[in-house]
Amino acid sequence: MALYLAKRIVLTIPVLFATALMIFFLFQLIPGDVVQASMTQKLMTKEQQDAIREALGLNRPVLERAADYAVALMQGDMGRSFRTGQPVLDMLFSQLPYTVILIAWSLLLAVLIGIPLGLAAALRRNSSVDAASMTAAVLGASIPQYWLGLVLILVFAVNLRWLPATGSDGFDTLILPAITLGVGNAAIIARLTRSQMVEVLQSDYVRTAEAKGVRRSRVVLRHAFRNSLIPIITMLGLQVGALLGGAVVVEVVFARPGLGTIVVQSILKRDIPVIQGGIVLIAALFVLVNLAVDVSYSFLDPRIRTGRSSSGG
């Protein structure tokens, strides 16, 4: 197991490095610079503007800056904010816990809603329960997050005054953002769980277990559901990427601190190092979550870490 985990980590490092460099080069395609975006540029002479570009290194060749950026990344340095002069990594890490907590609760909510809904639909296939569950899933997946967030604020914060609309102090401030971010993902998990369970429940080994008199609950939970987990966990890993993207919208709607908020503020101020660092950190989180998903496969199916074919039974 340790060897398998070490191999996966070693393979992840160049992926993270290549992703960061790709993001760096994409940002070089953006026209203009922080000086041109500054409202004070009209008050500065051309010489003053050039001096600022020189101090920030904006007038150096792209490949030279890319090499410096790569060396700095290996040292854990993402540069400094053009606006505040603070280290980008410190700024991002100060906001990271807010985003991680929001995503964790949203994912937990999606799992607690989506998996039972999908199981109920699969076990009562072609019934009214199935139809109602899948209708709810389609609606949940179709609702835009920003619209759902505004409706929840209007109903539960403005009209009923049960929950706060903004802020990050206390668990009650997490409820509406987590629901907003989790509903769509719960719908996707429900649909996938249903399709996987329907397929597995029709397998020969499930029919054999039922024919031998094994209890229905044991067949469903220990055999059918366990063999449906790998694609479900794969989807959960992919959904983390969607949650990271959705967190940008949700944090702005609910005026919460987090990576999304600091990236949006930096976009408005054209603070390129912070924007770039934020996107690199979000991409790194996505890669690391998928690494965790890959490792979890080895617990669900030991043949994966031993390299044996899954067709061998």
Could you tell me the domains of the chain? 1-81+271-308 (no CATH), 96-256 (1.10.3720.10)
- CB neighbours of 204 closer than 8 A, spacing ≥ 6? none
Neighbours of 118 (CB within 10 A): 29
Given a cut of 70, the residues of the chain with pLDDT beneath it are 1-2, 4, 32-43, 298, 300-313
Tens of pLDDT, residue by residue over 119-173, are 889 888 888 988 998 898 888 888 888 899 999 999 999 999 899 988 788 888 9
CA distances from 115 to 16, 132, 137, 226 (A): 31, 15, 11, 12
6, 307 contact by CB (below 8 A): no
Q: What is the pTM of this model?
A: 0.80
Tokens of 148: 């759902």
Neighbours of 37 (CB within 10 A): 14
Q: Which amino acid is at 117?
A: L
275, 24 contact by CB (below 8 A): no
Cα–Cα dist 198/189, whole Å: 14
252, 245 contact by CB (below 8 A): no
- CB neighbours of 300 closer than 8 A, spacing ≥ 6? 226, 229, 230, 233
Q: What would the DSSP string read from start to end of 246-299?
A: HHHHHHHHTT--SHHHHHHHHHHHT-HHHHHHHHHHHHHHHHHHHHHHHHHHHH
254, 176 contact by CB (below 8 A): yes
Q: What backbone phi and psi angles, to 5 degrees, belong to 80?
A: -125, 150
CA distances from 40 to 49, 115, 117, 241, 258 (A): 10, 54, 56, 37, 28
pLDDT at 41: 57
Cα angle vertex 184, ends 178, 186, to 5°? 80
10 Å CB burial of residue 191 (0-12, 13-18, 19+) is: buried
Cα–Cα dist 260/168, whole Å: 14
